[in-house]
Amino acid sequence: MSDNHALAEEFRQACAAGEHPDAAAFLARAPEDQREGLGRLLREVLADEPPPDPAPATLLMVQAMLRGEPPLLELRTSKGMTRDRVVSDLREELGLEAADEQRVAVYYHELETGQLPLAGIRDRVFEAVAKVMGVARSSLLLQGPEARGTGTPQAVYARAEPGTEVNVDALAALPGGPGAVDDLFTGGPG
């Protein structure tokens, strides 16, 4: 069995065991000139394997999304977590200073209400949010601005208090200039 086939078989077994294997991590384990071939094998596995039964948290987030409500907010409230606690845990998980908490709070609000473009968010943030929320990273349902069309667009803001929509003014009003926090939430993929 070639290395690629061995990796694909490992991927298949991890899928079957419900371990949410990361295809990108598997690609990274192959020599660069063999990644395209491995990618094809991984997609064959995904096409062949029946989809896993969705985790309750994923179903909850999908249902919120299809109703036009923010999935991350739905998940947080279902777990009885306050936004302050999530922000605090997220800051710690990202290895940021206590002084960064307000800035993290601003971005988290944008993230939770679907106002932050997903392509700008660093991998570390996805992983940290998933960990704080207790779900697999790949199961996390974050919405960017474009996704509000899945349900009733206005509903996304329905639960936000008037005047709490975040914009650049909110960030500008905070002490200190743009830095690590801004890079994590808007710096691009990777």
Partner 1 sequence: MCKEAQTLRRLSGDDSDLDTIVASYWDPVLQWIRSTGKVRGGEADEVRQDVFLRVTREIRAGKRYPLPIGAAIFQITNWTIRGYVAGAAGRREREQPFGEHPGDEPFDVGAEHEVDQVGEDEVVQEMFARLGDREGTLMTMHYLQGLDLAEVADAMGITANNAHQIHHRAKKRIQPWLAEGGT
Q: Does residue 141 touch partner 1 according to CB under 8 A?
A: yes
Pair 3, 34: CB distance under 8 Å: yes
Distance in Å, CB of 4 to partner 1, minimum: 12
DSSP states of 77-101: HHTT--HHHHHHHHHHHTT--GGGH
Helices (H) and strands (E) in the chain, counts: 11, 0
Q: Which of residues 54-113 bind partner 1 (CB under 8 A)?
A: 54, 58-59, 62-63, 65-66
Distance in Å, CB of 58 to partner 1, minimum: 5
96 token code pair: 């940021």
Tell me how many degrees the CA angle 98-160-86 measures, rounded to the nearest 5.
30
- Binding window for partner 1 (CB under 8 A); candidates: 40-48, 82-90, 101-109, 161-169: 40-48
Residues that bind partner 1 (CB under 8 A): 20-24, 26-27, 35-36, 38-39, 42-43, 46-47, 49-54, 58-59, 62-63, 65-66, 117-123, 126, 136, 138-139, 141-144, 146-147, 149-150, 188-190
